[in-house]
Structures are given as C-alpha cells and as structure tokens.
Structure 1
Amino acid sequence: MRIEAVAGDITTQSVDAIVNAANSSLLGGGGVDGAIHRAAGPALLAECEQLRATTHRDGLPVGHAVATGAGNLPARWVIHTVGPNRHAGQTDPALLASAFSASLAVASGLGATSVAFPAISGGVYGWAMGEVAEIAVATVRDADARGVETVRFVLFGADALAEFRARLA
C-alpha cells in the first residue's frame, strides 16, 4: 500500500473514498465535516439522515465508521468516522487508531482502492497533531485493508503536513 501526505482540500480529491471526521450525529458540523457536507450537497445529508432513522438511531460511536454515497464530490463514497474528543475526556489512543482502522475496513469492504483521510481529531477535538500523525501512520501501515492501494492524508496547514511527512519518512 502506498501512503502519502499532501497539503490540500479533501473535498477535491479524486479518490474512491473520502473519510469524513464526523461528529456522532452524522448530520454535519464544522471543520472537515462541514466542508464535506457543503461540497457534497443535499444528497449526503439525506443519506446521513436515513442512517440516523435506521441503523444509527443513537448516532455513530467513537472509533466506528459507516459509508454513504459522495453526492457532488469527485469520490464515490464518504466514509464517516468519529474520532475521540480529548476535551470530552476521550484520551485513549486506541479510540483514535480505531477511527482509522474502521475506516480502512469499510473502504476495503466497498472495494475502494484509494482513500483520502483528514487528520482525525487533530483540530477542535484537541489532539496534538504529532500524536495524530503517529497513530494514523502506524495504524494505516499495520492495517489489513485488502484492495486498498493508496492512502492519502490530505492536510490543512504546513504544521500538519510536516508532522505526517516526518512519520512517513
């Protein structure tokens, strides 16, 4: 599996699946989640509302992942995952690793060959970018994601990019 880190906008990535750093409601929010929902258009929200009405009535738990279509995005799917919120006392690195590994498992199950990830929990959820990079890269390297050929970390800002590139070196 090829793993790379780039600076950019995850909503413009031409990959099979884009991972959304969602909140448990699945109904959009700020940061990456809000940007993905805005770019995807109303079809994404409609699919998320359907998930909430059926299989995820109580929301998506931390560390889990679920897929929807991608609406107006160039990807085929959006894989929603909820990273741990350090400000809410969710400090177990295993929860963060699970967000990455569960997303890859979903991608593999869909038949995705390329996946773009943001720095899950590295923004308003309070995790240090270096810790996110360390956990993300190690988890992806150790994952058994059959069929996934490329994982791209799409990062906002020079500091995030530097942290991920240092872990990939």
Structure 2
Amino acid sequence: MSYSNLMKQAKLPLFVILTFLSCHQQPKEQEIVEDMEIEEIKPVTPEYYQLRPEVENIYGYTHAVKIGNIIKISGAVSMDADGNPTGVGNFEQQMVNCYADLDQILKHFGCSFDDVVVENIFTTDMPKFIETAAYRNEIYTKHFPTGSWLGVKELAMPEFLIEIELEVHKQE
C-alpha cells in the first residue's frame, strides 16, 4: 500500500504512519547475510570396498563405494572367491548366495538390510524370480526398499540367473 493511500484510509497522523513504515522496512541484503550462519562444506573422500579384490581387478570394478552416508553396491551374483559361478541352474540358491554377499558388504560398512533404500534386481528368468521373491521377506524384515525388477537377456556369465544391486543410506 502506498503512503498516500495509507494516509487517506487510516486518517492517522503523519508521524504515526512514518514510524510504522520505518519499523517495518525489509532488512538490507547485507544485514541478512551478516545474520546468516554459513556452514563450511567439507569435501567427502569416497571409501571403496572390494569383496573379491582379485576378481574385481580382473574385470575392472569395485563392489561398493561409500560417499558420505550413501553406499552404492554393484550387482551381486552367485560366485565363489575365484569368480566361478555357484548354484548353477538353481535359481533359489543363486538368490541366497547374492544376499549373503550383499550382507557381507553391508556389515563391512556397519549397515544391515534395514538401511537399504534401493534394490534393483536383474534376472534372466522373471517367472522363476516371481516364484521365489517371497524369500526377500527373510531379508527385509522391517520394510522393503524401492527399486526395480528387470528381466534381461543375459548377465555377465551365462550361468548367472540373478543379479542384485543396492543403494544404502547409512544412519549417522
């Protein structure tokens, strides 16, 4: 509202209106900045973790990386310490093996499946996954994460039937 309109409508003495206006002025930008607390942003160094260093170095990947309180975990497949497929032809066993590897990685970072916020599952046999998906109730006992279930033509090796990747939010 303009000064003249305020005077006409309120019929207040000029000194009252000027006092009101001077008390309710917006602070200048410099005053706002001086009142703000500025938090220093510190760089975060990624922490890398290899579950099977020899295998991961051969294929050129790292199984997990933690940046701040977020952990990204590469897809786990059913393999032994030498990178050989395990549970060949047995979908349920491969799923169990994937979750066992993921559990080991989570524990390395002081986490559990309760901290998982995204789970993406890739499978070459979606009907078999749907048939065995109830096993996940043993893994996720408090809540299920978000994620996707994707049917794919093939995984890294023809023996692999399922691959599971995670994103974790570690509670500080």
TM over 0.5: no
State the TM-score, normalizing by the size of structure 1.
0.38
Compute the TM-score of the two structures, normalised by the length of structure 2.
Answer: 0.37
Which protein has the larger Cα radius of gyration, Structure 1 or Structure 2?
2
